[in-house]
Amino acid sequence: MVNQYETVFILTPVLSEDQVKETVKDYEKLLTKNGGEIVNRENWGMRKLAYPIQKKSTGFYNLFEYKIDGQFISKLEIQMKRDERIIRFLTVKLDKHAIAYSEKRRKKNKDKNDEKKSDK
């Protein structure tokens, strides 16, 4: 059964900008190859971690929102656990309320970005 999920993952700060983009592309391909549809992707950039992970205090945060068969999630998580570039991840199944909230948040962010562009 196809459900909507959201995965936030943190990449190690020792990666270059190109390596970060490549890693994100790899996971996009993995999702789409396995019948997934990416609804939204956000790059939150380098952020300070709440506590050190693997002796690192910062990381590159990324978010994927996607629709895929629930059986694929365990494969995705195993892949992320094995990937040395990913220091932490969390996948959440979205219910109808979370989906509605996410759409509202995306629209608000889009409106905010449109305002910034029109101010220039």
pLDDT at 83 over 80: yes
pLDDT confidence bin for 11, thresholds 50/70/90? very high
Q: In the chain, pLDDT over 70 holds for what percent of residues?
A: 99
What one-character-per-residue DSSP string does 10-68 give?
EE-TTS-HHHHHHHHHHHHHHHHHTT-EEEEEEEEEEEEEEEEETTEEEEEEEEEEEEE
Paired residues of 86 in beta bridges: 11
pLDDT in tens, 13-51: 999 999 999 999 999 999 999 999 999 999 999 999 999
Class of domain 2-119: alpha beta
User: Taking Cα atoms as reference points, which of 39, 50, 43, 51 lies closest to residue 11?
Assistant: 43
Per residue in 97-108, pLDDT (tens digit) is 999 998 898 888
Which residues in 74-93 are b (16+ Cβ under 10 Å) and which e?
eebeeebeebebbbbbebee
